[in-house]
């Protein structure tokens, strides 16, 4: 049932207030400054502004490497499902397969693949990192990211994102997505609509932008889109009477979209998870993102097949010194503990690792906000050369040093 006039008015007023807080957070100039602005506003807000602020604050917590805190403060977007859902996938009939390989198999012959994310849950970015090389090998030519600011014109020439490149892309894994897409030779596309505050006009504007910038006059173009939540849906429902981006773009293209959801079947705060998520974890025991395929004919299972083609199940994982262990990205990154001397007694202290040769405003390979913990948490870094930087709450640089992460951890030496 659609909200009444009073509820609609309250939501619009809250959204306008959120934009004012967001503008103040942007003026702060640093992720830590923005975090302080959101926390202060959240502590004094009433509903529904408090819910809007919780999501924005959680997204900034993810940018600061506080991934567990982000799930705590914004556990889920409710309701998790609307309308009819598929029957429970019996393990006697389905088997779990690595998500990236299975989705790449489904993408053969497709021109449009769309994967969604929960903006505050960086775990929903791991799959896109794994899909980028697989889809490129299949001939995909363009990669589109919802976060990108259309005024960003130097991304391709620079080869890496900076803080001003986009809002969500200031999170380290999102930064790696853009960095990797450029390294692989994708044409990276911004597609946000100028009508971002109007739902109908936004979805239509995004579809128009993608069609014009990718497919118009380029019959061989193939597009991989990373977007948020319901933008990848192929049917109405989650955006009211608005046709979602995936539906509109598929209609313009004249071909169906391959739409993948990974925002429902994932770990979050206790009591906020989708009801069958724990059952699926017990039945299939995933250690990495997986999809379920029928043993009889290989058909891929979707929780809501009318809305999206594939449901991805993300493992719950465990915390290692306060940080989720999936950050090792299946062993491609090593847990590296920064020296405590970087921060001395300064709290809060923002510790960042940037790729050597990239500017000070580059999105870091990893970062973590050291608040009151007795010891630093590990940064997760792929082999390579980095610059470690530590700064205080005012953004003042406190220490800097070089770091080399070897290709594999050194074996212990015999005495």
Is 232 inside any structural domain?
A: yes
Q: Is-contact 138 107, C-beta < 8 A?
A: yes
Distance (Å, whole) CA 188 – CA 223: 10
> Mean pLDDT score of the chain, rounded to an integer?
93
Is 374 inside any structural domain?
A: yes
Is 325 inside any structural domain?
A: no
Is 415 inside any structural domain?
A: no
Residues 210 and 358 in one domain: no
CATH of the domain at 252: 3.40.50
CATH of the domain at 385: 2.60.40
Tell me: the pLDDT tens digits for 95-135?
A: 999 999 999 999 999 999 999 999 999 999 999 999 999 99
- Which residue has better confidence, 142 or 197? 142
Task: Using the predicted structure, report yes or no on whether residue 348 has a pLDDT greater than 90.
Answer: yes
Q: Which of 4-18, 154-168, 325-339 has the lowest mean pLDDT?
A: 4-18
Residues 130 and 21 in one domain: no
Residues 140 and 250 in one domain: yes
How high is the pLDDT of residue 413? 42
Is 89 inside any structural domain?
A: no
Distance (Å, whole) CA 267 – CA 274: 9
The domain of 48 spans 12-73
Task: Using the predicted structure, report yes or no on whether residue 40 has a pLDDT greater than 90.
Answer: yes
* Top mean-pLDDT range of 11-20, 59-68, 262-271: 59-68
Task: Using the predicted structure, report yes or no on whether residue 320 has a pLDDT greater than 80.
Answer: yes
How high is the pLDDT of residue 351? 97
How high is the pLDDT of residue 414? 39
Task: Using the predicted structure, report yes or no on whether residue 220 has a pLDDT greater than 70.
Answer: yes
Residues 301 and 334 in one domain: no
Residues 282 and 386 in one domain: no
Residues 124 and 242 in one domain: yes
Is 286 inside any structural domain?
A: yes
If you average pLDDT over residues 307-313, what whole number do you get? 98
Residues 63 and 133 in one domain: no
Ordered strands of the 366-370 beta sheet: 366-370, 349-355, 384-391, 397-405
Domain count within the chain: 3
Q: Is 117 helix (H, G, I), strand (E, B) or coil?
A: strand
Instruction: Report residue 83 as tokens.
Output: 């309308």
Residues 104 and 251 in one domain: yes
Claim: this prediction has a pTM higher than 0.85 = yes
Task: Using the predicted structure, report yes or no on whether residue 44 has a pLDDT greater than 60.
Answer: yes
Question: Confidence band (pLDDT; 50, 70, 90) for 272?
Answer: confident
Is 4 inside any structural domain?
A: no
Is 5 inside any structural domain?
A: no
Distance (Å, whole) CA 76 – CA 68: 13
Task: Using the predicted structure, report yes or no on whether residue 271 has a pLDDT greater than 50.
Answer: yes
If you average pLDDT over residues 270-289, what whole number do you get? 93
Residues 379 and 273 in one domain: no
If you average pLDDT over residues 339-362, what whole number do you get? 95
Residues 247 and 388 in one domain: no
Q: Is-contact 110 259, C-beta < 8 A?
A: no
With residue 223 as reference, give the H or E element that holds it. strand 223-228
Residues 162 and 229 in one domain: yes
If you average pLDDT over residues 364-390, what whole number do you get? 95
Residues 334 and 307 in one domain: no
């Amino acid at each position: 049932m659609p909200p009444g006039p009073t509820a609609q008015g309250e939501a619009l007023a809250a959204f306008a207030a959120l934009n004012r807080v967001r503008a103040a957070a942007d003026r702060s100039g640093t992720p830590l400054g923005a975090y302080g602005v959101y926390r202060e506003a959240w502590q004094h807000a009433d509903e529904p502004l408090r819910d809007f602020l919780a999501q924005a604050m959680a997204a900034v917590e993810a940018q600061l490497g506080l991934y567990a805190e982000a799930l705590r403060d914004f556990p889920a977007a409710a309701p998790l499902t609307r309308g009819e859902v598929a029957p429970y996938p019996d393990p006697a009939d389905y088997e779990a397969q690595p998500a990236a390989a299975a989705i790449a198999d489904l993408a053969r012959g497709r021109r449009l693949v769309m994967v969604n994310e929960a903006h505050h849950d960086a775990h929903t970015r791991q799959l896109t990192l794994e899909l980028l090389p697989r889809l490129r090998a299949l001939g995909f030519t363009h990669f589109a990211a919802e976060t990108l600011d259309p005024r960003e014109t130097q991304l391709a020439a620079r080869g890496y994102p900076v803080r001003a490149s986009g809002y969500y892309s200031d999170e380290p894994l999102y930064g790696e997505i853009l960095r990797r897409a450029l390294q692989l030779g994708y044409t990276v596309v911004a597609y946000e609509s100028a009508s971002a505050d109007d739902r109908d006009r936004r979805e239509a504007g995004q579809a128009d932008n993608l069609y014009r910038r990718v497919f118009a006059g380029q019959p061989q173009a193939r597009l991989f889109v990373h977007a948020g939540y319901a933008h990848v849906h192929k049917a109405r429902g989650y955006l009211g009477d608005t046709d979602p981006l995936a539906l509109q773009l598929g209609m313009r293209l004249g071909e169906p979209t391959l739409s993948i959801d990974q925002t429902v079947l994932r770990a979050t705060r206790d009591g906020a998870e989708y009801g069958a998520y724990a059952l699926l974890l017990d039945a299939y025991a995933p250690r990495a993102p997986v999809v379920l395929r029928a043993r009889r004919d290989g058909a891929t299972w979707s929780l809501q097949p009318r809305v999206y083609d594939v449901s991805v199940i993300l493992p719950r994982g465990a915390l290692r010194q306060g940080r989720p262990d999936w950050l090792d990205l299946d062993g491609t990154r090593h847990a590296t503990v920064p020296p405590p001397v970087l921060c001395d007694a300064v709290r809060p202290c923002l510790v960042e690792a940037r790729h050597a040769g990239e500017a000070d405003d580059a999105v870091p390979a990893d970062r973590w906000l050291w608040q009151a913990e007795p010891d630093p948490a590990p940064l997760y870094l792929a082999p390579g050369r980095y610059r470690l930087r530590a700064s205080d709450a005012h953004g003042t640089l406190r220490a800097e040093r070089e770091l080399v992460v070897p290709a594999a951890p050194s074996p212990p030496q015999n005495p």
